[in-house]
């Protein structure tokens, strides 16, 4: 269906400069690429002894039931409610779903962010891969009709099918979990002290340009930009799946392994996403003229990541072999406080991995795999533990 001005207003993105957050339909959304999203899914679903798929499906159901409810209006008739559900999915960049036969228990999808990510990075799959879409459709059915259903994918493009096909099972099941959170902790209002800048890099111009780019799904519901597919993922989804994964692994005594895996996925993500960005026409046009040396490239990359909603983070010390970063309002730390309260240990696996990945990209040589692991990062303090900011230290590995 066409996007009229009413729907466009409901789904318009608001950028909050003070916190570097992007907000769509009442949810902070974080821009990540298809490599990261598919890898994160493989990590969580591939872990033995836990129900990783259940974590992904349940988080998507809960979060999108909530986001869709905020996008709907009391006078929307049922046809319009289904249209909003299709449109939100496409708008955020997850692909294109057809809900026109949902009453008969059939949903199809002919393009998919997750299938693209899976095929690009992980190869053909023996299993159907669209757990995320199963959860999204469950959330949509709940938001539109109030019914809790199960959705199961029966054919998947990742296994060579022409389109993904889902069946809706209306049998007994537990109610949909509400997206219950504590109110957010207060966001910092004043600029921080001790942030390093490059005299050549106009960080605000970069942020304004990236925020001004229309990062919404095309007709197929995909966002091809910077040589990757991007998507606007609600922060609550990332937080729910990562917290759920680490807690499930803790039950097996493997929570440290779980965090290491999440850091590793982000380390790859940092290199893949920013390598794509550095080879894009957008970089050549706007950023390359500001970049005189590798340190400038690093400052530009951090500015871009702030425009993508990653962390309100800033360089506090930097040499070619080391980097220190401070993040005051990263979504992992703030989300942990909202969902779980104070943490006993730092929680920001994504920022930790990306911090290493960025140094590997800027100062390393060779392929992504050759660069991987040549820098190590650790989070020394975290907002989730009650500190005023998250602090990351990156060192070259000897």
Name the site residues for Zn ion (rule: CB under 5 A): 130, 156, 164, 333, 348, 382, 390
Task: Tell the smallest beta-carbon distance from residue 129 to Zn ion (Å).
Answer: 6
Task: Tell the smallest beta-carbon distance from residue 346 to Zn ion (Å).
Answer: 5
In the complex with Zn ion, the residue whose CB is nearer, 300 or 382, is 382
Q: Is 349 exposed, middle or buried (0-12, 13-18, 19+ CB in 10 A)?
A: buried
Three-class DSSP category at 301: helix
DSSP H or E segment with residue 69: helix 52-71
Can you read off the two tokens belonging to residue 369?
A: 């795999």
Three-class DSSP category at 130: coil
The Cα-based distances of 292 to 200, 207, 296 in angstroms read 8, 19, 6
In the complex with Zn ion, the residue whose CB is nearer, 118 or 226, is 118
In the complex with Zn ion, the residue whose CB is nearer, 78 or 380, is 380
Task: Tell the smallest beta-carbon distance from residue 379 to Zn ion (Å).
Answer: 5
Task: Tell the smallest beta-carbon distance from residue 387 to Zn ion (Å).
Answer: 8
In the complex with Zn ion, the residue whose CB is nearer, 26 or 341, is 341
In the complex with Zn ion, the residue whose CB is nearer, 80 or 339, is 339
In the complex with Zn ion, the residue whose CB is nearer, 134 or 360, is 134
Q: Are 393 and 324 in contact (CB under 8 A)?
A: yes
Q: Are 143 and 72 in contact (CB under 8 A)?
A: yes
Which residue, 114, 138, 124, is CA-closest to 34?
114
Task: Tell the smallest beta-carbon distance from residue 366 to Zn ion (Å).
Answer: 30
Can you read off the two tokens belonging to residue 177?
A: 């979990």
Q: Is 198 exposed, middle or buried (0-12, 13-18, 19+ CB in 10 A)?
A: buried
Provide the pairing of β-strand 223-225 with 150-155. Answer: unpaired
In the complex with Zn ion, the residue whose CB is nearer, 164 or 315, is 164
Task: Tell the smallest beta-carbon distance from residue 99 to Zn ion (Å).
Answer: 16
Phi, psi (rounded to 5 degrees) for 4: -85, 175
Task: Tell the smallest beta-carbon distance from residue 31 to Zn ion (Å).
Answer: 19
């Amino acid at each position: 269906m066409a996007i009229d001005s009413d729907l466009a207003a409901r789904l318009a993105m608001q950028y909050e400069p003070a916190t570097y957050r992007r907000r769509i339909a009442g949810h902070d959304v974080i821009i990540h690429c298809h490599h990261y999203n598919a890898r994160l899914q493989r990590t969580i679903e591939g872990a033995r002894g836990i129900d990783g798929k259940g974590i992904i499906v349940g988080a998507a159901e809960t979060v999108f039931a909530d986001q869709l409810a905020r996008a709907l209006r009391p006078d929307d008739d049922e046809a319009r409610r289904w249209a909003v559900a299709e449109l939100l999915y496409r708008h955020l960049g997850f692909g294109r779903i057809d809900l026109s036969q949902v009453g008969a228990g059939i949903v199809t999808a002919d393009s998919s962010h997750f299938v693209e990510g899976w095929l690009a990075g992980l190869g053909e799959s023996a299993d159907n891969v669209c757990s995320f879409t199963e959860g999204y459709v469950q959330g949509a059915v709940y938001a539109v009709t109030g019914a809790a259903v199960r959705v199961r994918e029966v054919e998947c493009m990742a296994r060579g099918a022409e389109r993904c096909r889902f069946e809706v099972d209306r049998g007994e099941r537990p109610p949909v979990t509400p997206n219950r959170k504590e109110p957010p902790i207060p966001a910092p209002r004043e600029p921080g002290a001790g942030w390093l800048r490059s005299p050549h890099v106009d960080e605000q111009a970069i942020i304004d340009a990236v925020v001004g780019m229309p990062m919404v799904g095309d007709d197929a519901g995909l966002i091809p930009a910077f040589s990757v597919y991007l998507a606007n993922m609600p922060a609550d989804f990332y937080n729910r799946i990562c917290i759920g994964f680490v807690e499930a692994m803790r039950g097996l005594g493997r929570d440290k392994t779980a965090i290491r895996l999440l850091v590793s996925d982000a380390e790859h993500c940092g290199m893949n996403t920013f390598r794509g960005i550095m080879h894009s026409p957008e970089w050549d046009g706007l950023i390359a003229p500001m970049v005189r040396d590798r340190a400038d490239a690093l400052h530009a990359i951090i500015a871009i990541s702030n425009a993508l909603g990653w962390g309100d983070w800033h360089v506090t010390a930097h040499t070619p072999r080391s980097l220190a970063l401070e993040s005051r309002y990263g979504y992992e730390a703030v989300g942990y406080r909202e969902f779980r309260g104070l943490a006993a240990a730092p929680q920001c696996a994504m920022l930790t991995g990306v911090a290493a990945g960025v140094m590997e990209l800027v100062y390393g040589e060779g392929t992504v795999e050759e660069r991987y692991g040549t820098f190590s990062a650790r989070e020394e303090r975290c907002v989730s533990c009650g500190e005023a900011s998250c602090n990351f230290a990156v060192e070259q590995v000897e």
